[in-house]
Amino acid sequence: MTKRIGIYLGGLSLTALGIALIISSSVGAGPWDTVAVGLTKHLGLTIGTWSIFSQVMFILITWILEKSRFRIESVIPIFIRSVFVDFWYYIVLGNVELTSSWELQIASFLTGIILAGIGIGIYMEVNFPKTPIDGMMVAISNRFGWSFNVVRMGIECTGTFLGFVLGGPVGLGTLVIALFLGKIIQIVNTRMKRIMQVSDATQSF
């Protein structure tokens, strides 16, 4: 259990660091992060705080799709991730200039998207509460038989539109994330699934 908790928190922290790097690179934030940034610009509060509020609707959608009890525990990972996002973005990277050159911007952005994809792919397989957006991705995938990649692409494209309307930092990077983040998650999650199966099998002996 301790090992799984460590993996879970590590995955959420990696995801948050990836998000913070992506936003700081100014290449274009993740689709739903543009929504949070846009809300922060207009209404104040931190990006992490708006991430919590804006993703509550994903819990409702997942609840409707799965036709099960309202998964209030889904608030736990988004709260943890949002705290990590604010920590990485405002405290660790707050005084770090990542836009001084286009090379640094691209490097920061690519590192961010890779870390975010790896983090999500890792923590999803621990079978602890998923963040609302990832829980909805799984619910849609299970309901309609679509791959994580296809489902994630649709979710991110919707976020891109809303972020644009709110005046969030929609850019080329936003499109890249919408198209490729799901693929990274799929690859990492598949490998993580095998690792966890081997680990569980080893512990059972």
Tens of pLDDT, residues 177-202: 877 887 888 888 787 777 766 666 56
- CA 70 to CA 66: how far, in whole Å? 10
- Per residue in 97-150, pLDDT (tens digit) is 888 888 999 999 999 988 988 888 888 777 676 667 777 888 888 888 888 878
Q: Give the pTM.
A: 0.79
Contact 23, 174 (CB under 8 A): no
Rg (CA), the chain: 16
- Per residue in 159-168, pLDDT (tens digit) is 888 899 999 8
Residue 198 has a pLDDT of: 64
- Residue 18 pLDDT exceeds 80: yes
Per-residue confidence band for 205, with pLDDT thresholds at 50, 70 and 90? low
Could you list the beta-strand ranges (E) of the chain: none
Range of the domain at 133: 2-204
**What is the number of domains present in the chain?**
1
Which two three-digit tokens encode residue 71?
């998964």
Q: What is the mean pLDDT of residues 83-88?
A: 94
